[in-house]
Amino acid sequence: MSISVRELNTESKVLDRDFYARPAVEVARDCLGKILVHGSAAGRIVETEAYLGTDDRAAHAWRGITDRTRVLFGPAGHAYVYFIYGMYECLNFVAEEEGKAGCVLIRALEPLAGIDIMRRRRPAAKRPEDLASGPGKLTLALGITRKQNGADLTRSTLHVRRERVESPFEIKATPRIGITHCADWPLRFVVSGNPFLSR
């Protein structure tokens, strides 16, 4: 059942910068169960991947600072949104201390608020489980584009919230998906058994 973002806000609080200013692996694990909000749509994060900057050949930051990757080397708690395959935008959260690139790719959400809006944005999705079950799907469902690249996740319409009472769940770690380099590193984290994971 869909609820409103206003209802979510009364039962949760926005994550502060200290949450993100930690090792990317820790942030990736701890993002699970948190609520991603953009405007009037929101979903619970159920799948993430960590990328480790210049130490990780699968990371965009591996080759160092460029115009595209500059945000990754900046302060934690900002959005890094990039275009892939000529059709999808993907959302990452900048982690680590400033100057050390690291980020968390948000791979799947469990829709919570604004589900009717998500359905209009994702008419091909036949079931609620398909609305945000992949990094390109969730940005479409929540209306996230490269306009949000660099957005401050602690003080913008794109932000992440922690519920005051969080339900327990089991976390499973697996290799990351759809990459060539460092493909065996177990840096994909999921809420075990959740039906909204990427497919």
Q: Give the pLDDT confidence of 12-23 residue by residue, as tens digits.
A: 999 999 999 999
Q: Is residue 1 predicted with pLDDT exceeding 60?
A: no
**Is residue 175 assigned to a domain?**
yes
**Is residue 157 assigned to a domain?**
yes
**Is residue 195 assigned to a domain?**
no
CATH classification of the domain holding 139: 3.10.300.10
Structural domain of residue 57, as residue ranges? 5-164+171-187
Q: Positive or negative CA dihedral for 13, 78, 92, 29? A: negative
**Is residue 194 assigned to a domain?**
no
pTM of the model: 0.95
Number of domains in the chain: 1
Q: Which amino acid is at 95?
A: A
- Three-state secondary structure along the chain? CCECHHHHHHCEEECCHHHHCCCHHHHHHHHCCCEEEECCEEEEEEEEEEECHHHCCCCHHHHCCCCCCHHHHCCCCEEEEEEECCCEEEEEEECCCCCCCCEEEEEEEEEEECHHHHHHHCCCCCCHHHCCCCHHHHHHHHCCCHHHCCCECCCCCEEEEEECCCCCCCEEEECCCCCCCCCCCCCEEEECCCCCCCC
**Residue 104 CB neighbour total at 10 angstroms:** 27
**Is residue 57 assigned to a domain?**
yes
Nearest CA to 107 out of 130, 72, 85, 136 is that of: 136
Mean pLDDT score across all residues of the chain: 94
Residue 195: pLDDT band by 50, 70, 90 thresholds? very high
Q: Is residue 181 predicted with pLDDT exceeding 90?
A: yes
Q: Which pLDDT tens digit goes with each residue over 47-69?
A: 999 999 899 999 999 888 888 88
Q: Which pLDDT tens digit goes with each residue over 109-143?
A: 999 999 999 999 999 999 999 999 999 999 999 99
**Is residue 43 assigned to a domain?**
yes
Q: Is residue 93 predicted with pLDDT exceeding 90?
A: yes
Residue 159: pLDDT band by 50, 70, 90 thresholds? very high
Total count of residues recorded for the chain: 199
Q: Is residue 2 predicted with pLDDT exceeding 80?
A: no
**Is residue 158 assigned to a domain?**
yes
> What pLDDT shows up at residue 140?
97
Neighbouring-strand partners of residue 113:
3, 42
